[in-house]
Structure 1
């Protein structure tokens, strides 16, 4: 199905400001659909046809469409009316009976204007099974019609309305309150009354100011959003939360205007007490997890420092080298926990870990090797340059630790056995396609010669981690231009969003 953006870019006369306005309308027209309990279909003229470019189903009533009409030309029973409306002719916007997919429906038309220019037309199609005979339905119909009038005047959607991206956005079915221009309650739906009663507002709310009713029960010690008074009075198209009695209400205000003058407002309300409680629990758990990572990192760094002190007391070069390797491996694990402290999720941006692993591998290698740009301690030292190519992306914490150990072991092996006598370049090349990750650790040193691959404790550790922990493969090969290439090929678990 083509996207709305594609339709707008292809539609004749849909210049950028008009396209942006229609995008804004489609982003907020579910309010109108829910108030009128009707399907909304947006129509524009494209070449010689009138095409449906967007469709919204109501969440408060029955939809008249089983198949989405987006991309379809206007049906014969409404094509003439739409053509006249899009030409700017005076068209009867009263309702008429139609048939949709073998079922009776009731259809009306409404124009969409911005700055006096006609941009598109909307059909409001209501199922024939919707009676709309109750007081609540009549109130909702009247409010929906007022929004259609604002749409005709170019006042809806409300341009520049800063709607914060908070979860738990209220909708018509959650609860709706109608205010007059002074913020006095004219009508409230049953769900809205229940939400405010649970919040602590007792008795009949009608003919009372919503701001005064809410102020009486708001917790004085809790911080209050500075936008809350504007929302409760219906003066600004904003969203805000209100807390009392351990509960939380999410409020959204939609001012109603006529000829540029505010005449009232719609307040959508939803009880989000449980949602906010779970969010607070998640925030507490997140802080706890961060503290755990912080303490683990500190403990590992302490262990590495103790190993360093112990290695200095060793007289045997073999024992000193073994402790240095252990210190390097502990430091690598600490790097992963430090990276987990930086993000809000249990994932690690592994490219940053690779940078640190390269520095650690060169620093912990033979004394005859120094990092590029580092001052030479003695003339026998050779310089090792490091390079990183490609992107490894985000990796789950469970896989980041073994993968970091593998990269560090292979990089250290390349420095100590491939570059310690000649110097050169150590390159880590990453290729990521979805969950498939290939990391190549290359050096341009002496190479393996006729040997099938390196051996030793570090190599065995890397092989075990790749095969056992990551379920991948580790292979070595000689580079055509000289040197050695180690290839880690793994399929990572998908990251939950």
Structure 2
């Protein structure tokens, strides 16, 4: 099924601003649908025939369309009021009975205009009512009818309103308040009254300005959103939160206009106390996790520094090398925690970790090696270049730590055993397909003998790959010279 933008793009006669206006309408028309408890269907002229390009169902009542009408094309003689309206005719002011999927419904068609130009036709269709409507339903229908008049005048949707809605934005079913042009409450739905009563506003609200009622219960120590007074007076199409008595109300104002003059406003209200509490908990949790990673990283760097100092005091070359290797491994784990500090979730963008592992592996190698781009300490040093090809993507922290250790061990082995005498290029190639990740660590050095590499570093890498990552680690000589170590693992998905 094509989208609204696709339908409009394929239709002649639509300007860019006209297309944006229809997109803006569809982004906010659920307000009209909920107030009128009616389905809304947007019709445009396409290839000479009316075509349904968007549909909205009400959240406050039953739908008349079980099958989505988007894409439906009217033939000559069907729905003449839509044909007439899209052909430049006048809008019908009275509703008529229509049949939708074998049932009778009440239908009204209004023009969607902007700057005096009819862009589309909006069909407003609702089930036939049985019995008498409640006072609340009558009031909501009156407010919805006002919005339809604004739609005809090109005043709705309201330009500058924040669409799409922010998290926790109120809907008609949450609570509705009607204000006059002075911000005085004319009517409030039962749900709106209940929400305000929970915040300490007692009794009937009618006849008093909403701003005055709210000021009495606002928490004085809590910063107030600068847009809140405009929202409470209904003067700006905006959203704001109001905190009182330990709770939070989310308010949205929709100014009502008539011929360009503001005549009142619709205020939608929702109790978002629990939602905001959970958001604060998540923010606190995120800050705590970041602080933990920061402290772990600092502690690991301190341990690495102590190992470095201790290695310098060692008289035995074997002891000095062992401490240096331990320092490098601790530093690698610290790299993962530093990467976790940069992200917003418990995942690591591993390509950045690989870059750091390569630098660490070369810098921690024997004194006969220097990394490309750094000063040569002695004339006998050989140069090692590093490069990363492909993409590993984001990896869970639990898997990133062992994988970073493995990459560092294999890269260090490649430098010390393959490139320390001749120099050359150390390359890491990553190939990620879904959860399947293959990483090749290659050098163009002297290559390995027939025996598989052994040693503490190799045993650590094998244990981590097979034990913690459930993958495989293999070595082979490259046909063009040098050695290739291949890590193959299947990663767990990152939870969101």
Q: Post-superposition shift, 1:19?
A: 1.4
Are 1:479 and 2:486 matched, yes or no? no
* Secondary structure at 1:307 match in 2: helix
Partner of 1:7: 7
| Cα deviation digits, residues 310-332 of structure 1 (max 9, x gap) | 21122221221111111111111
Are 1:208 and 2:211 matched, yes or no? no
Are 1:490 and 2:486 matched, yes or no? no
Partner of 1:48: 48
Contact 1:171–1:270 (CA<8 Å) still a contact in 2? yes
Q: Post-superposition shift, 1:468?
A: 2.2
Q: Which moved more, 1:195-204 or 1:92-101?
A: 92-101
Q: How does 1:143-292 map to 2 (within 5 A)?
A: 143-162=143-162, 166-292=166-292
* Secondary structure at 1:105 match in 2: strand
Partner of 2:67: 67
Q: How does 1:52-451 map to 2 (within 5 A)?
A: 52-74=52-74, 78-129=78-129, 133-162=133-162, 166-451=166-451
List, as ranges, runs of 4+ consecutive aligned residues in structure 1 with deviation greater than 6 Å: none
Q: Post-superposition shift, 1:464?
A: 2.0
Q: Which moved more, 1:285-294 or 1:473-482?
A: 473-482
- In 1, Cα distance between equivalents of 2:98 and 2:75: 10
**Number of corresponding residues:** 496
- In 2, Cα distance between equivalents of 1:83 and 1:331: 73
* Secondary structure at 1:43 match in 2: strand
Q: Which moved more, 1:427-436 or 1:272-281?
A: 427-436
* Secondary structure at 1:221 match in 2: coil
Contact 1:357–1:408 (CA<8 Å) still a contact in 2? yes
| Cα deviation digits, residues 339-362 of structure 1 (max 9, x gap) | 111222111111211111111111
Contact 2:182–2:264 (CA<8 Å) still a contact in 1? yes
Q: Post-superposition shift, 1:132?
A: 6.3
Contact 2:92–2:110 (CA<8 Å) still a contact in 1? no
Structure 2: give runs of 5+ residues left out of the alignment: none
Contact 1:163–1:239 (CA<8 Å) still a contact in 2? no
Q: Post-superposition shift, 1:131?
A: 5.5
Contact 2:28–2:163 (CA<8 Å) still a contact in 1? no
* Secondary structure at 1:242 match in 2: strand
* Secondary structure at 1:408 match in 2: helix
* Secondary structure at 1:157 match in 2: coil
Contact 1:132–1:138 (CA<8 Å) still a contact in 2? no
Structure 1: give runs of 5+ residues left out of the alignment: none
Q: Which moved more, 1:78-87 or 1:416-425?
A: 78-87
| Cα deviation digits, residues 3-35 of structure 1 (max 9, x gap) | 222212112223321111111111111001000
Q: Post-superposition shift, 1:290?
A: 1.4
Q: Which moved more, 1:130-139 or 1:342-351?
A: 130-139
Q: Structure 2 vs 1, CA of residues 124 and 130 (structure 1 numbering), >3 Å: closer, same or farther?
A: farther
Q: Post-superposition shift, 1:264?
A: 0.7
Q: Which moved more, 1:403-412 or 1:465-474?
A: 465-474
Q: Structure 2 vs 1, CA of residues 372 and 56 (structure 1 numbering), >3 Å: closer, same or farther?
A: same
- In 1, Cα distance between equivalents of 2:478 and 2:107: 72
- In 2, Cα distance between equivalents of 1:490 and 1:31: 50
Q: Structure 2 vs 1, CA of residues 118 and 132 (structure 1 numbering), >3 Å: closer, same or farther?
A: farther
Q: Post-superposition shift, 1:172?
A: 0.2
- In 2, Cα distance between equivalents of 1:214 and 1:457: 70
- In 1, Cα distance between equivalents of 2:318 and 2:129: 87
- In 2, Cα distance between equivalents of 1:9 and 1:117: 18
Contact 2:234–2:267 (CA<8 Å) still a contact in 1? yes
Give the root-mean-square deviation of aligned CA atoms. Answer: 1.7
* Secondary structure at 1:325 match in 2: helix
| Cα deviation digits, residues 346-402 of structure 1 (max 9, x gap) | 111112111111111111111111111211111221011111222222211111111
- In 1, Cα distance between equivalents of 2:60 and 2:162: 26
